[in-house]
Amino acid sequence: MFYSRDLAHQMLGAHLLGLDAENLSMLRHFAGSANGARGWYPLWAFDFDGTPAAIDYHSDDDFVREVPAPFELVEKAVEQYRWTADDRFLLTPEIAAFVRSTMTSFVDAHDPLGTGVAGEGGSGDIFRGTATYNEGERPPHLLVAADGIASQWAAHLALGSVTFDVTLDEEFAAWNRARAEQLDEHFSASWWLPGDQHYTAGFTADGPTGGFRLESTWFPALKGIMRDDRRSSAHLDFLRSGLAATPPVNIEAFTYLPEAFFRYGWDDEALRWMRYLADSRADYPEVPFTHVAHVAVGLTGLEPGAQEGVVHTRSHLPAGEWIEVGEVPVGGSVVGLRHEAKEATEFEVTGGPGVTWTSTWDDGHVTTVDVPNGSRVRAAADGSVVVLRGQR
């Protein structure tokens, strides 16, 4: 079977392995399964012949559904468009309809606190719908959860930043930008627990809930909804101590941690969990797929920009280490790079029209270089840039 949550988490690694057709096929299945009769939820799982997985679907009123999943699929549709330059990830009819219904009809139908944050009824029953991915959630069961709002915000942010020719429409993009700002303000103002020094895992009818709650604790870091300040540092400390005291029982849960810590520059902690996962030798699919992404993207900071033809990098390597990746398809180009710790980076384009490369350094300054096809450029932390091959 293939699952919505797993697909969302594995798509980047799959792209790096050349599985774009498979990503698109599975995404289309989930997108096409969401309708009004199912509360605008996509189904949770399919057999590989395309039929709903019977173990997770009994009827339109009785199937596994968790609030973060539809938002993650929307976010990853945008992400895959950026990586592939294949507009089918956004404009295939069933995906385009799913994107709109998720951000509008789904939220309207699942807003238990009237705050515009999607959630569920607090039953704790995944066949009736839960606000969180935490299937081992202990009472009190959340009406809205931190992994839900973080995923919803990330989907709005992704849609709001699609500004090139394939935009669904500028009015919709502008609306998503505004909603992302609203959710950012709401999370910052209402989800911090001053007494506990961490963000709440979510809300019940009685108010915010404290304590370490697995996905609801690490998703604000994973998605980046926390502002990079004293509070985010305190929350990451809380996450680190919670993992030490109450580690997850399932290996796939750990696969989120490198990305969560890399996002806020906690590189040593991210590397620790990368090594933990590699040493596990686990064959659960999320482990190998995400490991590919953690190595090729997490350590390198390689990602497509919001503007077409822009590629970003930022090294997350320890002193004295190096990494090299090549033949990576980004947008319409094929790129490669070599980081030498955080001191210097060589970047090349081996296919496509070429890119504008931006490299962010630890002191915050950014180097921007146009790199045509066939060129290799070396930039250093001291601001120097040397053309090693190609146009000068």
Domain ranges of the chain: 2-298, 306-389
Domains 2-298 and 306-389 share a fold: no
For residue 307, the model assigns a pLDDT of 84
Q: What is the pLDDT of residues 301-347, one digit of tens each?
A: 999 998 889 999 999 999 999 999 999 999 889 999 999 999 999 99
| Lowest-pLDDT range of 6-10, 112-116, 172-176 | 172-176
CATH number for the segment(s) 2-298: 1.50.10.10
For residue 167, the model assigns a pLDDT of 53
| Of residues 329, 363, 366, 335, the one with CA closest to residue 349 | 335
What's the whole-number average pLDDT of the chain?
96
For residue 163, the model assigns a pLDDT of 64
Task: Say what the pTM is.
Answer: 0.97
Would you give the distance in Å from CA 237 to the centre of its chain? 21
* Residue 128 confidence (pLDDT) above 80: yes
- Considering only the top CATH level, what class is 306-389? mainly beta
